[in-house]
Amino acid sequence: MPDTHMNIAAPEDRALTAEGTLTRRTVLQVALAALAPLAVAPEVDAAQTAGADLAPLSPTVLPPGVRSRFVDNVNGLRMHVLEAGFETPGRPGVLMLHGFPELAYSWRKVMAPIAAAGFHVFAPDVRGYGRTTGATGTNVKYDDDLRPFGTVSKLRDALALVSALGYRSLAAVIGHDAGSPLAGWCALTRPDVYRSVVMMSAPYGGPPTLPFNTANAPRSTAPAADPNAIYADLAKLTPPRKHYQRYYTTREANENLWHPPQGLQAFLRAYYHMKSADWKQNQPHPLAARTAAEWAKLPRYYVMDLDKGMAEQVAAEMPSAAAIAACKWLPDAELRVYAEEYGRTGFQGGLNGYRGSPGDVDLQMFAGRTIDVPATFISGKSDWGVYQNPGALERLEKNVTTKYQGTHLVEGAGHWVQQEQPEVVSKLVVEFLRRNA
């Protein structure tokens, strides 16, 4: 399959052409057995009504054609959903999954354009975020059980929402940042439901592996490599460093993000700015290996100073008042929506996703499986997220997918590609959907 990287500079640029038509495959018995629990739960969790006093987002903060609503009994949650194209029944559905620190609101700029092409587009606040409430939707704590925040649980949430909205299958699932590997998992585990997949900004690495041919091979006496050794190596650098994902697993991370010294909106402004194309220091390129020396080349929002929290780390890069006023993709009024939502909930619901879930060991049953529906990857040309895991994009293109239809790196966008360049992203997505209808 093609693995050409296309640098998309303007809406009129053409997307890659599919090499073949979509063939529907039946799901493997093992996949069906593994995901049988993903059916919608018949009972409503007693805690589901928690947060029922929350209203939908005001139409004044949403683009025309996008509405906010709640969907009850979604795997024990009262799920907050944004949607567009809902006026006409029977449209093919498109599910959008956001990342961190994002919300369903992160898709606001692309929903109506994709809906205008004939689709019903819906984006939930993922479990632990925003206005989605229920057993694990509000007042999330560091010491809470991590299972509800794991990949298996979120796969159940996605499938339950699809079913609640009356779909047996969708035209596509689309994910950004942490939502990108989640979208990849959706397509890999349930190709009968998710007929294509668009991943953005974070390449999905595929299912975990199992030890192979160990019964017939001589037992090795060499000690196994420690995947965590790199974190100690980072701390030995000059100056000492630490990886942001490691930091996000710590107890103090939520408080640092939620009540930063500079104020929440100022923190979010600096964080979003530093990971965008507006921060001109973002000049990403592939890294040679997963080593401390190579990781040290990443900006400090990825590989932080050892003695700083994220709030302190990004404070030095706070844009000027003139730069903020000139930021058309995230004006203060839109940033305020994020600040108000995270100011109410904190960040622990999202941070718990970085810590892993004991239940996710079950995903090993998909070892060796590939994504066998049409797939594509979109990111900003100024996004280091493409390269932070060395070799991840190449594995996605050549090993994880079997019907890959190209990588698109969008000019004028960093990590927040669907917000920074919504016209280009909308066009790419619509072309992909039409090609694989």
The span from the CA of 151 to the CA of 156, in Å, is 9
Question: What residue segments make up the domains of the chain, in order of their start?
Answer: 5-209+355-435, 229-351
Paired with 376 in beta bridges are 198
Q: Are 241 and 304 in contact (CB under 8 A)?
A: yes
Q: So what's the pLDDT on residue 9?
A: 52
Q: So what's the pLDDT on residue 334?
A: 98
Q: So what's the pLDDT on residue 223?
A: 78
- Work out the angle at residue 403's Cα, subtended by the Cα atoms of residues 400 and 407, and round it to the nearest 5 degrees: 75
CATH 3.90.550.10 is held by the domain 5-209+355-435 = no
Which is it for strands 241-243 and 303-305: parallel, antiparallel or unpaired?
antiparallel
The pTM (predicted TM-score) of the whole model is 0.89
Q: So what's the pLDDT on residue 37?
A: 39
Phi, psi (deg, nearest 5) at residue 268: -65, -40
Q: So what's the pLDDT on residue 110?
A: 98
The span from the CA of 91 to the CA of 117, in Å, is 10
pLDDT in tens, 198-254: 999 999 999 999 988 989 888 777 777 888 899 999 999 999 999 999 999 999 999
Q: So what's the pLDDT on residue 52?
A: 55
Torsion angle (degrees, nearest 10) of CA 249, 287, 382, 402: -90
pLDDT by residue for the chain (437 residues), tens digit each?
Answer: 444 455 555 443 333 333 333 343 443 443 434 444 343 333 333 333 345 579 999 999 999 999 999 999 999 999 999 999 999 999 999 999 999 999 999 999 999 999 999 999 999 999 999 999 986 556 799 999 999 999 999 999 999 999 999 999 999 999 999 999 999 999 999 999 999 999 999 999 999 999 889 898 887 777 778 888 999 999 999 999 999 999 999 999 999 999 999 999 999 999 999 999 999 999 999 999 999 999 999 999 999 999 999 999 999 999 999 999 999 999 999 999 999 999 999 999 999 999 999 999 999 999 999 999 999 999 999 999 999 999 999 999 999 999 999 999 999 999 999 999 999 999 999 999 999 98
Pinpoint the alpha helices (H) of 259-369: 264-274, 292-295, 310-315, 321-326, 332-345, 348-351
Q: Are 171 and 196 in contact (CB under 8 A)?
A: yes
